[in-house]
A and B are shown apart, each in its own frame.
Chain A
Amino acid sequence: MIVFHNVSKEYPRTGRALADATFRLHKGEFAFLTGASGAGKSTILRLAYFEEQPTSGEVRVSGVSSTEVRTQGEVARLRRKLGIVFQDFRLLEDRTAEANVAFALEVIGTRRDQIAPRVNRVLSQVGLASKLKSYPRELSGGEQQRVAIARALVNDPVVLIADEPTGNLDERATRGVFQLLRDINTAGTAVLMATHALDLVRSTDYRTIELDHGRIVYDSVDATPPAASRALGELT
């Protein structure tokens, strides 16, 4: 699904953002990316949706490799298989919830008669069937994020990439949005979610990948937690 193989990313001005990252997100899996600000979580996500190219190593998403992709058209076609959600929702303020979701289908040339049923279905799925005609300013933060999730889901993505999706939400809305992401995952969509909300991480047994200064320091799939490692080191 998503494969990072020895991936490093350096920026000319700020230096190394990611160092030698290797992990694999499987089909239908849910994984958290955790770590302090600047640890490299968003860099991993940007690399995963090919917003950026790695300085070295290879990123492979749904069969498309960063070493082979050449044109913007290829990236565009890959993104149609992904759903991407951000902390700041990124909705168009002058369009209704319905139009915001439909927008994602229109711009990839979906047939007109297919748009309305799919938009209605996905807005119902996120619990906003009654707010189709509402503009973003008329919705709460949690509702706006649900519209953004609906937009990400409407193309039936194989993986949902979420960058701090609960970062701007209160506790109640956070729980609601997180439950929605869990439901989406249960239905078969893989989820890669960057978050600061350790309460959410601890409340589940989902896989956790922890980053520190651009390095993966912990992966619950194949490693012992860093704190435990340190404790073991002190004992030996």
Chain B
Amino acid sequence: MRIAFRDALHAVRKAPLLSALSVMTIAFSLFAFGLFGLVALNIKGVLDTVEERVEIRAFVADGTPTEDLVRAVNEISRYREVLSARIVTQAQALARARRELGEFSDVFEEGVLPASIDIRLKPGSRDPRGVGAVASRIKTISFVDDVRYGEDWILQLHRLRNIAGATGVSLGLAFAVVAVIIIGATIRMTVLARSKEISIMRLVGATDAFIRSPFLIEGFAKGIAGGIIALLLTWGSAATVEHYLNFKAIFFDQRLVLFGLAGGALIGLLGSGYAVGRHLRRV
């Protein structure tokens, strides 16, 4: 292992420009992927914010006793899909309507708006089917007159999320494939640059596993280095956008940062393993 580390270091020292080129290739490939990931993350953030507004409103019959309402709220709160449920009295409904409608606040008179139970759903249950299922159960409550949840709006939102998701996955995969191909080609150059060394190793009796090890170490290290540079570039881009467009961007959390670095290391490792393996099969 000591020799493998020494050989990996020797290879970097021997061809610093080629090494820098492969690190920068990995960095820019991951940077492109990272920028795309950042855009996808921010679109998802916006959609999540919009989706948080998904709400079921169950209008109750006038004169429903408060105890019945409390009992119903408690029962609804126990539904697996429900995040929260609360009673909105006639007075509260009026105040809310006036607040939301601003200059038209005087069109409502007291007692016009019915009391309701407002239900918010957990993430993952806010799709049309989940919302519809909860709404149907609530409709069965005897004193519930009507249940509304903006069915068309939820349907559109869901469609938009699906399109964004499918586009994200397709583009993400395409970016990842392009990154792997470019990185693989760059690493292959470093393998070819050392083909003489490899042939001598084989002649004097080195096993393929031994020959591979310095390349794997080199690929892993370059992947990590490329990942760090890509992360810094992505962070710089996000900061620039925030500064000039006055927009609070969501950046990768710690888990995604580690995932990105691990991805870079894995690409470096697999790219090297593939390139040197292919070379060994040919010579």
Contacts and interface: CB of A to CB of B under 8 A. Distances in A.
Q: Tell me, yes or no, whether A binds B.
A: yes
Interface of A: 49, 72-73, 76-80, 84, 90, 92, 94, 103-104, 106-109, 151, 155
B14 A151 contact: no
A53 B206 CA distance: 19
A107 to B, nearest CB: 4
B197 interface: yes
A151 B200 CA distance: 10
B14 A79 contact: no
B205 interface: yes
Nearest to A154: B204
Interface string B1-45: 001000000000010000000000000000000000000000000
A78 B203 CA distance: 10
Nearest to B6: A106
A164 to B, nearest CB: 15
A151 B207 CA distance: 17
A84 B14 contact: no
Nearest to A151: B204
Interface SS, B side = helix
Contacts of A80: 204-205
B204 A103 contact: yes
Contacts of B199: 90
A220 to B, nearest CB: 29
B196 A155 contact: no
A76 B200 contact: no
A107 B211 CA distance: 8
Given A77-B205, A79-B205, 11 more contacts: A72-B207, A73-B207, A79-B203, A84-B203, A84-B204, A90-B196, A92-B197, A92-B200, A103-B200, A107-B201, A155-B204
Interface string B241-283: 0000000000000000000000000000000000000001000
B208 interface: yes
A78 B207 CA distance: 11
The 3 residue pairs across chains A and B that have the minimum distance between CB atoms:
A80-B205, A107-B206, A79-B205
Interface in B180-209: 196-197, 199-208
A107 B208 CA distance: 10
A50 B202 CA distance: 11
A48 B204 CA distance: 14
B210 interface: yes
Contacts of B14: 94
Contacts of B203: 49, 79, 84, 90
Nearest to A109: B210
